[in-house]
Amino acid sequence: MNYVDAKPYAYPLPENLNQLALVIIDMQRDFMEPGGFGDALGNDVLRLQAIVPTLKDLLSTFRQLQLPVVHTLECHAPDLSDCPPSKQERGKGSLKIGDEGPMGRILVKGEPGNGIIPELEPIAGEIVIYKPGKGAFYNTPLSELLQEKGITHLLLTGVTTEVCVQTTMREANDRGYECLMVEDCTESYFPEFKQATLEMVTAQGGIVGWTAPAAAIKAALV
């Protein structure tokens, strides 16, 4: 059995690496680029772009090894039937979910702004999950798809660390998955929130899971 040099202690990889999936959360234009939802909420979206090269490299490793990859996109139906009014109204930003923005309607499935950034665009055979909530398991087929493929271990990446990434990790933890958050492949608009999340994950002997940098994962895989 191989291990990843991780916090709070070594992360055991499954003997069958096909049971390990890379989960890339919400690397979509609405959160990553000016004119999207993140920008409308007053955030410095350029902060998130710092992780793209490292995440792209890790994704390339998974593709070379032909290991499972999951992409998620937070989005809603055009009629917003799956968007609670409480979510739509929250934040009081300049643009709300469903409003017309520079990249089309905000957080609406199929709009230009809802697409994954070109550097990380999914390829054939990779799972793409459209999620109406912050967690990737809520109201999606993710759990069933992972079970069908026999996946037991998840590497969590993407944005934002303390919202959709952490929510998904906690959902996965409750479902029995062995979860590791990749430290330099996740980012927040608020650096202190990212740091706090990493510490919460590994506290109390890894009560939610593990964290490690991408280089440690690659060293254990190749």
Residue 59's φ and ψ, nearest 5 degrees, are: -60, -40
Handedness of CA 189, 190, 196, 198 (dihedral sign): positive
Contact 181, 209 (CB under 8 A): yes
Instruction: Enumerate the active-site residues.
Output: 26, 131, 164
d(CA 129, CA 93): 26
- CA distances for 172 relative to 138, 149, 192, angstroms: 11, 15, 24
- CA distances for 118 relative to 86, 121, 133, 175, angstroms: 32, 5, 23, 32
Token pair for residue 205?
A: 């002997």
d(CA 146, CA 177): 10
d(CA 150, CA 105): 37
